[in-house]
Structure formats: C-alpha cells, structure tokens
Amino acid sequence: MKNSPSLDEQLEMHRKMVIVRRLEERLGELHKAGRTRGPIHRCDGQEAVGIGATAVLGTSDFVTSTHRGHAHYIGKGVDIRGVTAEILGRATGTCGGRAGHMLIGDRDNGMIGGNAIVGGSIPAATGMALSIQVRGTADVAMCFFGDGAAQTGICHESMNMAGLWKLPVVFILEHNQFGLTVHHTVQSPVADLSIRAAGYAMPAEIVDGNDTVAMYRAVATAVERARRGEGPTLIEAKTYRMQGFSTSDMGGYQSDADLAEWNRRDPIQVSRRGLADAVSAERLDQIEAGAVAEVDAAVEEALAAPLPTFELFTRSSPYATAPEAV
C-alpha cells in the first residue's frame, strides 16, 4: 500500500506509544501521591495520532502542539528524560522548569511547541508554513489541534490563509470527542469537522486515529503534497480521550459503554495485532519492557534532579524592567 511504514518504523512507533502510555500512567500515580504540580493533561488512548503523524517528519520540519502534547513531543524526538524532568519542574527539564508540561518547546528538534491557549497551535503552524514558503525550503509545518480548538475563530482565519496561499502545513485534527467536559455533539452541528476543508480548497481525510499505520499513510500523503508546494491538508483523526480533561477532572460525564468500546480499540493493542504476523510476541514484549524501563528510569532521574533556582534578569534581557532587576 502507498506510503506504508517500514517494519522498523512500525516497531519504533509501537515503542514510542508505549513510552507515552507509561509516562501518562506514571504521571497519574505521581499526581495521586501529591508529587506533581498543577494540572496534567494525559493523552491515554490518543497516542497513535501524535506518534503516527510525527513519524513521517524530519528534524527540520516543525510541529505545534496543544496542552495535551506528550505524544507529539516524544514523536518529534524530544528527549524523554528532558520531557519528564520538565513535567516534574526540574532544572534538568527541556526548558529548565520554566515551561511545565503544556508549553514544552525544543527548537533544535523542531517542536515549537506546546500551546495551552486552545486554538493557538493553528495560526502558529500556519505562520511557520508562511516562513517556509517565503524562504523557499521543502520543510513542512504540522499542527495538532483538537475538536474543541476547531470551534475557535482563529481556526477559520488560519485555514483560510493556508488554503489561499497553498502553505506547506498539515492540520491534524485530533478528534478526541471532548472539549474539556463538553461532548462534540454539544459544540458542533456536524460530526465530521473535516467537511469544512472544502471551504478552504484543501483535501481532507478521516482517519482511524487509534491506528498508527493508518495515521502514517494519510499523513505521508499530506506531507508529500505540502513539500511539492501543493498546499495544506486536513486530517481528521478520530480517537477518544480515555482519561479526564486533566488530572483535576472529577469525571462523571464519559459513558461506560464508550470507554469499553474505545478500550477495545486501544492503539497499543491495535498496533500489536498489526505486527503479530511479522514479529513474535516475545520481541514485542521485549520492546515494551524496554520502553517501560526507559520511562521509569527517566522518572527516577527527574525526581532525584535539583529544582531550578530563580535568576534575576540582566538589564539587556527583554524581561528586565530597568533598573530594579539589574
């Protein structure tokens, strides 16, 4: 099939999904134990969207993310130890503890970055694509956003310009059914938001967001199109948010039937079934155990790492209000 991932790529996507799942589970435990700070937005059940889509990209491509970005960070190649330490507010974090889990940015890996203003990632990627077009390189910008963000005005403004100027951007609508606690049926009159793409003269595709291989194929086609200068694509990845909005969500609005149905479609299990013919169960177990051990080591390392210390700004800093901070 066109644009299918190689076996090695498929195994790497599987490994990265297990890394993200383990990270989310460990963060859940640490939150319950009172060892995290602030809300954490887990992406359990949605890992295939971010991991499958970013697997297509190179280092010089750009990704913009949301408040729920752990799979995007890991997929784009940000170091798991740095991410874990950042989430735990340590000096050794990707951003030295200044950013926290929603706002991780790593310029060297093209992950710029998390964005916790809902809808903010959409013009961000569009602006990067404008920069790519003005400079005339073959890079692409990839935008992750949710069904909640799809209802913002800035989504329309951005997609209109992306379509108008044929910008090299791939919009990944991570449709996890909920905007905070409100179901998508209470936020939009249409179930498939990708029908809007017609209004922006861009192709759209609805993809099983719990299947890394399906994500990879659809996104690879969109990325090729963007690199050829033919413009943006909207990928609507259907998935489901298995955990609450954040670790502070009290729950009570997700039906047991839905949870059971989507649990049956767990992306890690879907991936295992897809690999079953090509790879032994023992090898997959081994890969998964390695991923779990890597996350556990990152968590232990982060917990043992120093907390950051505040440093005053110099007068030349953009944040210095001279001269009290000199």
Structure tokens at 126: 């569009």
CB 145 within 8 A of CB 174: yes
**Pick from 53, 71, 78, 132: which binds other proteins (CB under 8 A)?**
132
Q: Binding marks (x or -) toward other proteins, 263..302, rule CB under 8 A?
A: ----------------------------------------
Q: Which is nearer to other proteins, 137 or 185 (CB)?
A: 137
| Near other proteins in 38-77, by CB under 8 A | 62, 64
Which one among 138, 164, 303, 312 touches other proteins, defined by CB under 8 A? 164
Stretch that binds other proteins, among 13-21, 41-49, 102-110, 285-293 (CB under 8 A): 102-110
Residues contacting other proteins: total by CB under 8 A: 43
Q: Tokens in use for 63?
A: 């990704």
- How many Å apart are CA 91 and CA 78, to the nearest integer? 16
Residue number with CB closer to other proteins (162 or 213): 162
Contact 220, 3 (CB under 8 A): yes
CB distance 306 to 91 below 8 Å = yes
Residues facing 183 on adjacent strands = 178
CA dist 114 and 105 (Å) reads 6
Cβ neighbours of residue 127 closer than 8 Å, sequence gap 6 or more: none
Stretch near other proteins under the rule CB under 8 A, chosen from 18-26, 32-40, 98-106, 215-223: 98-106
Q: Which of 53, 95, 204, 213 binds other proteins (CB under 8 A)?
A: 95
Tokens of 157: 């403004």
Sketch the per residue contact string, 306 through 325, with other proteins: x for CB under 8 A, - otherwise: ------------xxxxxx--
Among 1, 33, 153, 189, binds other proteins (CB under 8 A): 153
Q: What single-letter amino acid sits at 134?
A: V
Name the residue nearer to other proteins (CB basis): 15 or 67.
67
Give the nearest distance from C-beta 96 to other proteins in angstroms. Answer: 8
Of the candidates 299, 191, 226, the one whose C-alpha atom is nearest the C-alpha of residue 56 is 226
Strands (DSSP E) found in the chain: 62-64, 105-106, 111-112, 141-146, 169-175, 178-179, 182-183, 204-208, 233-238
- Enumerate binding residues for other proteins (CB under 8 A): 62, 64, 95-96, 98-99, 103, 105-108, 112-113, 115, 117, 120, 122-128, 130-135, 153-154, 157-158, 160-161, 164-165, 318-323
